[in-house]
Amino acid sequence: MAKISAPKGTRDFYPDEMRRRRYLEDVWRRVSLRAGFEEVDGPIFESLELYIQKAGEEIVTQLYNFEDKGGRPIAIRPEFTQSLARMVVARQAALPRPIKWFNISRCCRYERAQKGRLREFFQWNCDILGAEGPAADAECIAVAIDALQEFGLTKEQVEVRLSSRKLLSVMLAKLGLSDAAIPKVYLVLDKRGKVPADVIHHMINEIEMTEDQRKRVVDIMDMSSLDGLPSFFGDDPEVLEQLRELSQVVSLLGDDAAQFVRIDFGIVRGLAYYTGPVWEVFDKTGTLRSLCGGGRYDNLIAASGGKAMPACGFGAGDVTMGLLLDSLHAWPNDLTPRADFYVSCVQAASVSKVLPLVRRLRSLGRSAIHDLISSNIARQIKNADAMGVRYNVVIGSHKCSDDEVILGNMRTHEERTIRIQDLLKSVQDGTI
């Protein structure tokens, strides 16, 4: 029989990898709940039309799609945003405002597998709907920063690069760029840092605009702070209004979180539905793809068949975050396999006492495991050590009476004889 491998761009999660995945998900879930987001989920597949509605027919080439047995075009979800929009539209009138939802789900995209991007991945989404103004944008960024800090990351290691689609469009329109030229400028901005400088220069020169416009576009691209607005905009009220909105987002974050943020007009986000502030999180070495990204998308709900509703949110993938924690050796040390207790048995005559004690420990809310393959005591203790358990409980030792066990601390290697009832009482009291 031929050996079959996992499909290209997917991963097997053996126990070690599964613990790391759960750690990422646990941090994301903990941070979301702490910020008052509620968890939601939807089906792993949706009507293909749901995604075409958002991104056009060209999106089909990036999806795993098929016809079901009823002839209906279906796609496995590439992200959760469209499911969220559909769910909001279905109950829009009844949902209390603002809506703060989060989701952690498996997604699939049919694209070239490469470093930081796979065909199957897990994504964390947080979205706020029904809240206008910069406070909701700042809240989303703050939650993402909370997660970064929960992972033990610092402003020296990661940064949030913040921009505004609305401010960019106003500035480019003030320069007199045509409607056809503006999306091309967005594309150039989006490619900065991803392709060589000479390619960027060539792309700019290919855009139909005057030499003066080209120079001023470069000036905008070089902006690195909100204080560096090019002088040729003067006191233009539309530009200043959008600038104030973006400044408010940063100000509302407070000094601690704002230290993670820098202005970068190279952040435009590829999706056309973004309407205001946009941002992405990167590691400062510049070796990885975006760790996280999002922004304001006030038109999405109306475009999905609902009543117009302001919205903003972000998504983060497990692949790049895992690569970053790998590179920084930042995974927690206690992700090794661990149970609280391993109950060992010295004599065959005492085997019948093992599972009842294991069940008592479990009933007290503690994890407990025992030997299932009749290993000798030396092998059992070696197994307990390899599994990273906290305590080894030995039943049937000649040093103990019938109602006693030996309790061994696997970290300090200290041992003591203890009555079973005293052990259980200590476990219940939390002193062991």
Choose the final residue of a domain: 290, 316, 333.
333
In a domain, 53, yes or no: no
Are residues 271 and 290 in contact, defined by beta-carbon separation less than 8 angstroms? no
Q: Which of 333, 363, 387 is where one domain is finished?
A: 333
Task: Count Cβ atoms within 10 A of the Cβ of residue 394 and give its class: 0-12 exposed, 13-18 middle, 19 or more buried.
Answer: buried
Question: Is 251 among the domain residues?
Answer: yes
pLDDT at 271: 59
**Strands 311-317 and 292-296, how do they pair?**
antiparallel
Residue at 146 is within a domain: yes
For 423, residues 6+ apart whose C-beta sits below 8 A from its C-beta are 393, 405, 407, 432
84 and 210 assigned to the same domain: yes
Residue 378 lies in domain: 337-429
- State whether 281 and 341 are in the same domain: no
Structural domain includes residue 3: no
246 and 106 in a common domain: yes
Measured at the CA of 290, the angle between CA 301 and CA 99, to 5 degrees, comes to 30
Residue located via tokens 């597998």: 113
pLDDT of 94: 97
Walk along the chain (432 residues) and give the pLDDT tens digit of each residue.
889 999 999 999 999 999 999 999 999 999 999 999 999 999 999 999 999 887 777 788 999 999 999 999 999 999 999 999 999 999 999 999 999 999 999 999 998 988 889 999 999 999 999 999 999 999 999 999 999 999 999 999 999 999 999 999 999 999 999 888 988 888 888 887 778 888 888 898 889 989 999 998 888 888 888 887 888 888 889 999 999 999 999 999 999 999 999 999 888 886 567 899 999 999 998 889 899 999 999 999 999 999 999 999 999 999 999 999 999 999 998 887 779 999 999 987 788 999 999 999 999 999 999 999 888 999 999 999 988 899 999 999 999 998 999 999 999 999 999 999 999 999 999 999
The single-letter code of the amino acid at 105 is S
Does the residue 73 lie in any domain?
no
Q: Within 10 A of 9 (CB to CB), how many other CB atoms are there?
A: 17
> 361: which residues sit within 8 A by CB, 6+ positions away?
340, 341, 343, 368, 424, 427
How far, in whole angstroms, is CA 71 from its chain's centroid?
A: 35
Residues 294 and 361 in one domain: no
Give yes or no: residues 287 and 416 share one domain: no
pLDDT at 374: 85
Whole-angstrom distance, CA of residue 39 vs CA of residue 33: 8
Number of other CB atoms surrounding residue 298 within 10 Å: 18
Instruction: Name the residue with tokens 């409980």.
Output: 393
Strands 292-296 and 341-345 turn out to be unpaired
Same domain, 326 and 268: yes
Amino acid residing at 208: E
- Check the CA dihedral 210-216-219-225 and report its sign: negative
Tell me how many domains the chain contains: 2
Q: Residues 322, 217: one domain? A: yes
- Max CA pair span of the chain: 94
234 and 319 in a single domain? The answer is: yes
CB 404 within 8 A of CB 423: no
Q: Taking Cα atoms as reference points, which of 122, 121, 106, 128 lies closest to residue 42?
A: 106
Which CATH number characterizes residue 86's domain?
3.30.930.10
- Verify that 249 and 378 share a domain, yes or no: no
User: At which residue do the structure tokens 């070089």 appear?
Assistant: 222
pLDDT at 401: 93
Domain boundary among 299, 333, 367: 333
In a domain, 270, yes or no: yes
314 and 373 part of one domain: no
Asked if residue 268 and residue 291 are part of one domain, the reply reads yes
One domain, residues 420 and 329: no
Which distant-in-sequence residues (6+ apart) come within 8 Å of 298 by Cβ?
275, 276, 308, 309, 310, 311
What phi, psi does 358 have (nearest 5°)? -60, -45
